[in-house]
Structure 1
């Protein structure tokens, strides 16, 4: 009997993992903000934390699935996630990419690559 696999590509696996974790983290963050006394001024900190952890885990799974070149698969997962977010922002909210977007691209690549490096080292040899 064949097992069901979503994709054979480590990058797609990492992107799907990252997007699922971002959705779950956003739900938890919104519930936390709704039912606690924390103000919306702290929202950027929650957003960056949820995205950072999600990118780290997505890069981890991409590196683990790739089995080698974890920085490559994790970094491309982070960069692809960044491009998806910029595309959604541009098409849905008419927010044009700015120069500081390059900083976010670098951040996404580095965090994803770090997760990928750890994922390769945790993979079964």
Structure 2
């Protein structure tokens, strides 16, 4: 990672932005895996809700881990902030792209991403170099 930042001259100083980048990467991987699962099995789109929530939870967990590891302090705070901002960005994109409306799944998604982001933050702050 250091070699890429030297080549392109990019450095991300914000822990939350770094966590959101990692959340987007894990979301892309999860969406690709879900697409393969949907195409290669008898699973229908209506039965994908638990899988989708799992992918969003894992993406928020990874983003919370990355943001708290970068910050080195207040792991649950940075992780939950990352999870909630991730959901806000996701809802904004969903509304603008497909005119998605508010449903009962939105508060559940906020709960899943907030808690999994906080858990990732608690794990990430302890994995950082400042905790040793």
1:91 aligns with 2:96: yes
Q: Provide the alpha-carbon RMSD of the alignment.
A: 1.9
In the other structure, the counterpart of 1:29 is 34
Q: Which runs of 4+ in 1 moved over 6 A?
A: none
Structure 1 CA distance, aligned partners of 2:110 and 2:44? 28
Matching residue within 72, 79, 87 for 1:74: 79
Deviation at 1:103, TM superposition (A): 3.5
Q: Which deviates more from structure 2 when the two are superposed, residues 41-50 or residues 64-73?
A: 41-50
Deviation at 1:68, TM superposition (A): 0.3
In the other structure, the counterpart of 2:67 is 62
Matching residue within 8, 12, 17 for 1:12: 17
Structure 1's unaligned 5+ residue stretches are none
More helix by proportion, 1 or 2? 2
Structure 2's unaligned 5+ residue stretches are none
In the other structure, the counterpart of 2:54 is 49
Contact 2:53 2:112 survives alignment (8 Å): no
Q: What TM-score do you get using the length of structure 1 for normalisation?
A: 0.87
Deviation at 1:100, TM superposition (A): 5.2
**What count of residue pairs does the alignment treat as equivalent?**
124
Structure 2 CA distance, aligned partners of 1:32 and 1:98? 25
